[in-house]
Every structure is written in C-alpha cells, then in structure tokens.
Amino acid sequence: MNEAEWHERLGAMVRDYIRSPELERYFSIKMTKPRAAIMVTQQSLFVRHRRDCWAHVSANCPILAVKQRILEHEYEEIIRDDFSEYGHLHLIIRQGKSVGLEPEEILSAQPLPETRAVLYAWSWMTSEMSWIEALAAMTVTEWCNDDRLLGDLGGGQSTRMAKKWMEEMGFTWKQIPNMEAHSQADEKHSDMFLPFLKEFATGKKEQLAFQAAKDSLAFNAMFRKGIALAQEKLPG
C-alpha cells in the first residue's frame, strides 16, 4: 500500500477508537482538580514509559533511517521542541501545579491497575514482537491527538480534554501546557513513520502491522477507562 492508503486505514482505526465506549466514558467525567490530578499522574507514567518503548523499537530495528527518525521523535519528547525547553515531562509537571500536585507527587506516582496492565502490554509488544509491528503500535497512538483526523469528532484527545478543563474548571491554555503541546505536536508525529510502513510493512507483514496497531489502540482505550473508573470514585 502507498502512504495514502496506510493513512486511510490507520485513520479509520483511530476514528473508531475515539468513538469507543471507553473514550466516551473518559470524556464524560465532570472534571474537578482531584479528578484531574489522577489524569496527570497516570499520564506522567504513560509518557515516561513510552521512552522505553521507543527505545525497544529502535534496538530491534536494523534500518538506520528508522533509528534516525526515532531519535528525532525522541529528542523532541525528551530534550526540547517548540513547546518546551526541557521535554514533555516538564510540561506535565507544570500542568500538575494547576491541580495542586507537587513535582515529587508526579514523579513518584503509582500506576492504577489498568495503567500497570497496559504498560506491561506495550513493553512486551515493543520488545518481543517484530520492530515493524512495534512501530505500527507506537505510531498509531500519536494519531489519537491529531485534530486534522478527528476535528469533526470534537478533536483529538488533548484538544477535547483541554476544552473540558477550560469549560469545567475555568483553566486557560497557559495552565494546561501539556495538552496545548500535544494538540499540535502530534500532528507532525502522526506523519513521521508512514514512509517506513509503506516500505517495510509489506506482504504478510502488512496485516501483522495492522493487528498490532489495533491492539495498541485497545490498550490505550483500557488505559483511559482505568482513569475514568478512578475518577468516578471521587466526588464530583
């Protein structure tokens, strides 16, 4: 398949994901600062874990061009980009201050059961499956923040959640820097690996890559559902 066909098929998966019952529940929770704090701590675990997963993909991949693209992606996530001079975890720590979290509370956060399960799943997938499957699994989660793909459905995850924080807690974009960054940065990240899927995910590998992407989105839905379940236990 060419890049346009890959984009169409993966995009359809992501659109199904954003309309799933798990995501409907995730976005239905009325936001308060204690509930928002749960989201921040679990998102910090997600963000840190992805650095390990991308490292697994790179380690298993023999193609230098793919390794270079992963390093480009990770430099923006860990070191600096247009949105932060210190990496995206710093954005989460700044956002945590808006809901009353100290940096140490974020850095020492414990995973919810659902978070622990999906982090284990992504770790296994990216270290034990083929690098092509792992690449598809990782890149498709970037698409969940792509407003170009999801604009008619209310926007990507970060944009939709940013609107909730602003409408329900009166926040400004300045108070939610992580969401502001990912409502824009992941548009670039969504496109970064399509050329490699076109080139290397061919023949039988094509369907394996699609299944890995589908499974990864299911993990992402489970992660969001776990956050919603924990938030529902707090008073609204």
Mean pLDDT value across residues 177-198: 77
DSSP string, 133-177: HHHHHHHHHHGGG-HHHHGGGT--HHHHHHHHHHHHH---GGG-H
How far apart are alpha carbons 118 and 109 in whole angstroms? 16
Predicted local distance difference test score (pLDDT) of residue 173: 87
Predicted local distance difference test score (pLDDT) of residue 76: 84
Where are any strands of DSSP class E within the chain? none
Average pLDDT of the chain? 93
Predicted local distance difference test score (pLDDT) of residue 83: 61
Mean pLDDT value across residues 59-67: 98
Quick one: pLDDT band at residue 176, thresholds 50, 70, 90? confident
Alpha-carbon distances of 126 from 2, 164, 173, rounded to whole Å: 24, 32, 33
Which residue has better confidence, 79 or 159?
A: 159
Range of the domain at 221: 3-232
- For 13-43, what is each residue's pLDDT tens digit? 999 999 999 999 999 999 999 999 999 999 9
Q: Which of 68, 39, 82, 47 is nearest to 176 (CA)?
A: 39
The domain tally of the chain equals 1
CATH of the domain at 215: 1.20.910.10
How far apart are alpha carbons 93 and 90 in whole angstroms? 5
Mean pLDDT value across residues 51-61: 97
Quick one: pLDDT band at residue 236, thresholds 50, 70, 90? confident
- For 83-126, what is each residue's pLDDT tens digit? 666 577 888 998 999 999 999 999 999 999 999 999 999 999 99
Quick one: pLDDT band at residue 179, thresholds 50, 70, 90? confident
Predicted local distance difference test score (pLDDT) of residue 131: 98
pLDDT at 127 over 70: yes
pLDDT at 174 over 90: no
